[in-house]
Amino acid sequence: MKRPVVSILVALVFGLLIAPTGYAQEESGLIRGWVFVDQDRDGVMDPGEIGLEETVVCIYKLGVDWCDHTEGGSYMFDMLPPQTYKIKLVDFPHGYHLISKRVVKVELQAGEIRTDVHFALTDELGGGHP
C-alpha cells in the first residue's frame, strides 16, 4: 500500500522540477543591450562607438529582479516569461552623463528577443572617450 503514495510523491516532485515557472521554455524571451559612449550625442549606437565598462543595469517587474554588471558595455537578461519589464541603468562611472532615458519599459512577447534597449552616455567634455 505504500507504493501508490511513493509514486504520487515522485510524480509531484518531478512535475515541480521540470515546470516550476508555469510557462514553456520555448515561450521565454531575452532582453539584451548596450551601455555605450555616444560620441556624436545622437542616442544611437553607431559603428566605432564603444561599450562602457563598470556599469550596472537592472530588470524589474514587481521589484528588483536582478542586476547585471556589464562586460564591455553589454548586458543580457534571458529566460524571461512574457510580460512587461522595466530596464534601468542604475550605475555608471563618474564623469559620464546619461543622454538617453534611465528607465525603459519593455513589453516582452512570448519567445521575443529584444536587442534594442540601449543606454547612451557622454563624458563631461562631450568627446565620448572612456
Residue 15 sits at φ, ψ, to 5 deg, of -65, -40
What is the per-residue pLDDT across 20-76, written as a single tens digit (0 to 9) for each? 445 455 689 999 999 999 999 999 999 999 999 999 999 998 666 899 998 899 999
Q: What domains are defined for the chain?
A: 25-123 (2.60.40.10)
For the entire predicted model, the pTM comes to 0.74
What is the per-residue pLDDT across 88-118, written as a single tens digit (0 to 9) for each? 999 999 999 999 999 999 999 999 999 999 9
Grid look-up 566605432 returns 48
- Cβ neighbors of 115 (< 8 A, separation 6 or more) are 32, 33
